A and B are shown apart, each in its own frame.
Chain A
Amino acid sequence: MSTDPMTPADALSTAAEVMPADPLPTPGEPAHDPDLRATGLRLSYDNRVVVAGLDLAVPPGRITAIVGANACGKSTLLRALARLLAPRAGAVQLDGRALQSIPTRELAQRLGILPQSPTAPEGLTVIDLVNRGRSPHQTWWRQWSKADEQAVHEALAATDMTDLADRPVDELSGGQRQRAWIAMAVAQGTPVLLLDEPTTYLDLAHQIDVLDLITDLNRRENRTVVMVLHDLNQACRYADHVVAMKSGRIVAEGTPAEVITEETVESVFDLNCRITLDPVSNTPMVIPMGRHHRDR
C-alpha cells in the first residue's frame, strides 16, 4: 500500500524538531503537496443558488478554516470540495483534474471527508468503524492486509482510542465518538482531510481536544486540513489560513491576523466587536458586543 503513514513513534520524536513550514515527506509517498482548488464555482440546491462564482486555492500542508454566518454557504463549499455536491458551473480540481472526472475510489485514497455529526450503526465497535476507513484501499478478497492493520492501529493510537477499540461507538461520550470518527478518517490515510464543524455538540474541553488532535495530524503527518468552524477565536488559534464567507462569496482570506478584523467581522456577521490579542496564542481574539454592551 502506497499510503503508509509514518508511525506515531516517528511522529512524536520528530514533531518537536520539525517546523510546520518544513513538512516531513510521508515515507513511501512521492513528496508532492496536494493542489486542491476551486475555480468559478457555482453551487446550488435545486434552483436555489448558494455559491456563485467562487475561487479558492487551498494552501497545501496547512490548516484552513472556513468561517461565516449560518447559511453563508460554507458547508456547501466544503461538500463541493469533497465531491459530495457537483458544481453547476466551474470546477473543483485536485492536482489539475476535476473531481468529477476522478474515480470515486481513487479520490478516496487522496481526499477524506468527515461530515457534520455522522451517525454510526448501533453496536458498531470503534475498531470496525476505523477499519471502514480503509475501504478505499481494500478489495473484496483483501480486507485486512498488513497495511490495513497497521494503519488502523496507528489511527487508534494517534487519536488515543486504542483502549476503547472494542467498545461500541454509540456507547461512547460525544468527545470519544468524534475522535473515533476522526480515527476512521486518519486510517483512510489521505493527504487532504476535510471536516465539517468537527466540534459541534462537544463541550469546551472536548472541542479543544479535537482541535489539538487535528493540529497533530497536520503537524506530524503534513496533512492538508480544511474545516468549517463556527468559533472565530478557535479558527484564529488553530488555522494557518482563514476564509471568511458571506452570501456564497469569499469576503476575505489570509492569515488570521489579516482576516479577523473588526471590519470583516462586522461585515460577515453583522456584529460589532473589538479585537484584542489572545494572550495564549498571540492570535486575534474577537470580543463580541451585543446591544447591551455597546458604547462602553
Chain B
Amino acid sequence: MTNPKTADIAGPTNPADPVDTTATAAPAPPPLRTQRTFRLTVPPVSGILRPRLMTVGALLAVGTFLLFCWSLTIGDYPIAFTDVVRALVGSGDPGTVLVVQELRLPRSLVGLLAGIAFGASGGLFQTMTRNPLASPDMIGLTQGAGLFVVAGIVLGWDGGLGTQSLGLLGALASAFVVYVLAWRGGTTGYRIILVGIGVAWICTSATDYLVAKGGRFEAQAATGWLVGNLNGRTWSEVGPLAFALVVLLPASLLLGRLLRTLQLGDDVATGLGTRVQPVRLAILLSGVGLIAFATAAAGPVAFVALAAPQIAQRLARTAWPPTLTSGLTGALMVLGSDLIARTLISGTELPVGIVTGVLGAPILLWLLVRANRAGSGG
C-alpha cells in the first residue's frame, strides 16, 4: 500500500493531475485517464460517452434493420431485398407494396417491437433486483398472461376482449399480485423474485390444469399461444405495442440513471439521494408495461428477456445491462429466430419461441465461458 503522497509524485505520468496545479487558480480538470470513456460537454449538457457501448449499439441497430428487411423478403412469393426497402417507403410495384406493407410488415414489426420490449424490460428487472436471473418469465408476469389467455381460450369467456387484451390483463394482474405480496413496509428485489417464483408456479399449475381439462382443439390453440408465435400478426397487434414502446421506452431510458445507484444496494442508493421505493415502483411499472404489451402481441417468447440483457452487457462490456442495447439484442434474437423458424423446414412454420431458446442459450453460454477464460468472472 502506498502512501497518499506517492500519487502526487507520480505527476509526470499524469501531468494534468490537479495536485500539480497551484492552489490559487481553479485547476483545469484533468482528462479522464480511462481509455473507454470521454467527455461530452455542450453546456449545460454533459455526460459520459462510452465508445464501445455506442459502437455495439450502432452495429446491433444496423443488424436489426437488415434482419428486419430480410424477414420481409420471405414468403410464398419471394421479393428482392432492394424491392422490399423500396416498398417500405411506398414506391415500386403496387402489388409488392401491398404484400410488404399489409401482409408482411405487421409480422416483422411485432417481432421487432416485441424483441425490443422483451430485451429492455429484462434489463430493467435484472438491474432493479440486482439479479441476472430476474426476468419477467421467472417472476410470474409471463405466466399470468398465459393463464388469462388460456382461460379465455379453454373456458370460452373472453368477454369479447380477445387474446391480446387478456394477455395484457394477465401480466398486469400478476405483477400487481407479486408487488402487493412482496410488500412489507417497502419491497426488496430479493422478495420480489421469491414471491414472483411462487406466483409463477401457481399460474403455471392453473394453466396446465386448464389445458388438460380443455378439448383437443382448445388445448392445441392454447399450447400454440404459450410457445410464442408471430404467425398471422396484423396491424391490430402492432398498434398497442408500438404505442406502449413510444411511451415506456423513453421512460425506461430516463430511469436508467437512477438504476445506476439502485445497483449499489438500497442503503447506498438512499445515501446517494435516490428515493428507492418510488424509483423501484416506477421501474417495475415500465418493465411490466413493456413485457405485458409484448406478451400480448407475440405470446410469451421464451428466453429473450433473460438472455438479451446479459448478451448486451457482455458485448458492451458494461457492469449493467444497457437498456437500449438490451432491447436491440432482443429484437435481433426474435427476428433472427423467426427467420430460422420459417426457413428451417420448408413448408412448415415453427413458432418463434421454439427457436429463441435453442439459439439464445448457446450465445449466452459462449459469452459466459469466454468471460471466465479471460478471468473476468461470469
Contact = CB atoms under 8 A, between A and B. Distances in A.
A145 interface: yes
B52 interface: no
B319 A135 contact: no
A216 B3 CA distance: 12
B346 interface: no
A104 B19 CA distance: 33
A129 B320 CA distance: 12
Nearest to A145: B46
A189 to B, nearest CB: 12
Interface stretch (A156-164, A224-232, A270-278): A156-164
Contact of A120 (B39, B257, B264, B271): B264
Contact of B273 (A6, A9, A104, A171): A104
A13 B7 CA distance: 15
Contacts of B2: 160
A231 to B, nearest CB: 19
B319 A125 contact: yes
Interface residues of A, number: 70
A104 B274 contact: yes
Interface string B1-40: 1111111101000100111111100110110111111011
Interface string A213-224: 100100000000
B270 A153 contact: no
Report, as a range, how many residues of chain B touch the other chain. Answer: 35 or more
A123 interface: yes
A240 B133 CA distance: 47
A143 B94 CA distance: 50
A30 B36 CA distance: 37
Nearest to A113: B271
Nearest to B375: A171
Nearest to B254: A140
A115 interface: yes
A132 B271 contact: no
Interface string A139-152: 01111111011100
A163 B13 CA distance: 10
Interface string B259-272: 01101110110111
B370 interface: no
A35 interface: no
Contacts of A158: 4
A149 B30 CA distance: 8
B17 A153 contact: yes
B18 A9 contact: yes
B23 A160 contact: no
A170 B20 CA distance: 30
B159 interface: no
Given A123-B319, A145-B46, A160-B7, A154 B18 contact: yes
Contact of B272 (A136, A150, A216): A136
A206 B265 CA distance: 24
Interface in A253-290: none
Interface string A79-99: 100111000000000000000
B271 A108 contact: yes
Contact of B377 (A112, A123, A133): A123
A138 B23 CA distance: 26
Nearest to B36: A166
Residue of B21, B23, B33, B273 with highest tally of chain A CB at under 10 A = B273
Nearest to B13: A163
B376 A123 contact: yes
5 contacts: A8-B7, A140-B254, A144-B41, A149-B29, A175-B1
Interface of B: 1-8, 10, 14, 17-23, 26-27, 29-30, 32-37, 39-41, 44-48, 130, 254, 257, 260-261, 263-265, 267-268, 270-275, 317-320, 376-377
Given A10-B23, A82-B270, 12 more contacts: A104-B270, A105-B273, A107-B273, A113-B267, A122-B319, A132-B260, A135-B257, A143-B48, A154-B18, A157-B7, A163-B7, A168-B319
Shortest Cβ-Cβ A-B pairs, 10 listed: A108-B273, A105-B273, A124-B319, A113-B271, A136-B273, A123-B319, A149-B29, A115-B267, A143-B47, A144-B46
Interface of A: 4, 6-10, 12-13, 79, 82-84, 104-109, 111-115, 118-125, 127-129, 131-133, 135-136, 138, 140-146, 148-150, 153-154, 157-160, 162-163, 165-166, 168, 170-171, 175, 188, 205-206, 209, 213, 216
